[in-house]
Amino acid sequence: MQPLAELKPVVDEAIAPERPIIQVSGLDHVYPSRDGPVHALSDIALTVGEGRFVVIVGPSGCGKSSLLMMLAGLRHQTAGTILCSGRPITDPDPDRVGVVFQEANLFPWLTAIDNVAFPLALRGVSRAERAARANAMLELVGLGDAGGRYPHELSGGMKQRVSIARGLVQDPPVLLMDEPFAALDEQTRMAMGEELLRIWSATRKTVVFVTHSLTEAVYLADEVLVMSARPGRIVDRMEVELPRPRTYEMMAGAVFGRLRDRIWQQIKAPAR
């Protein structure tokens, strides 16, 4: 008879083939505010497998940014635990997690390359190594020759590329992105999505990407987590079984449409 212990890993693998890198359970968050407490997140549980591209989609104000800030250690949850690589996240830890924000938020007094190198400078990495690594990241995001420019000399899309390079420069296993393309125009946004997928497949990072765009969610994701309106709850989880590389044509396909509709049903359902 086969011992149970030997069977177990096989069962696990059937559910989540990748090793979990982020594990969230029982997460709850309440903001105190002048008009009374705001229940932002309620009983969030999720697992992100290593190397996966997971998109969290939900209506504005449902707590997506709050959740991401907690994953980044930038905000403390009221209750619940967040594990990253098996250890709790309580404070920002750039070795484990890189962050890209909605606004690129580059430092206007630094050149593009110095912005990318900023996280390394905080760690006291030598000047030569900083320059080499920041340059490699700029190459990766397709801005190899713009390193000497200041942010005010860059377009919105270029700024966001620099911001991605900065998020990746310390080579963290996880990249968190909070609506990084929401401030860009439609064409740039499409191009940046494609570009991000290229970068992702080149680096094999785990990406947790927040958006309120259904199309963006389905186009980018391995897996979509759908959040309800406040208090944010995860109401649905779906695999996007579209082949990679993703193409623009897939958006017109039946699978794409079905997934998008399913998200839409979830998001609009609790309209009160």
Ligand X SMILES: Nc1ncnc2c1ncn2[C@@H]1O[C@H](COP(=O)(O)OP(=O)(O)O)[C@@H](O)[C@H]1O
Are 97 and 172 in contact by the 8 Å Cβ rule? The answer is yes
Q: Which is nearer to ligand X, 29 or 133 (CB)?
A: 29
Are 205 and 168 in contact by the 8 Å Cβ rule? The answer is yes
Residues 62-91 that bind Mg ion (CB under 5 A): 65
Residues interacting with other proteins, by CB under 8 A?
Answer: 72, 74, 92-94, 99, 101, 103, 105, 107-109, 118-119, 121-123, 150-152, 166, 170
Q: Which is nearer to ligand X, 63 or 151 (CB)?
A: 63
Asked whether position 130 contacts ligand X by CB under 6 A, the answer is: no
- Least Å from the CB of residue 59 to other proteins: 23
Return the half-sphere exposure (C-beta side, CA atoms, 13 A cut-off) of residue 7.
4
Give the integer Cα–Cα distance in Å for 172 and 261.
34
Give the integer Cα–Cα distance in Å for 197 and 54.
12
Asked whether position 183 contacts ligand X by CB under 6 A, the answer is: no
Give the integer Cα–Cα distance in Å for 265 and 251.
18
> What does 92 interact with, of other proteins, Mg ion, ligand X, none (CB < 5 to 8 A by kind)?
other proteins
Binding residue for ligand X, selected from 23, 28, 38, 183, defined by CB under 6 A: 38
Binding residue for ligand X, selected from 18, 23, 50, 61, defined by CB under 6 A: 61
Question: Quick check: helix, strand or coil at residue 56?
Answer: strand
Q: Which is nearer to Mg ion, 65 or 78 (CB)?
A: 65
Strands (E), 32-104: 38-49, 53-57, 79-84, 87-88, 97-100
Residues lying near ligand X in the complex (CB under 6 A): 31, 33, 38, 40, 58, 60-66, 230
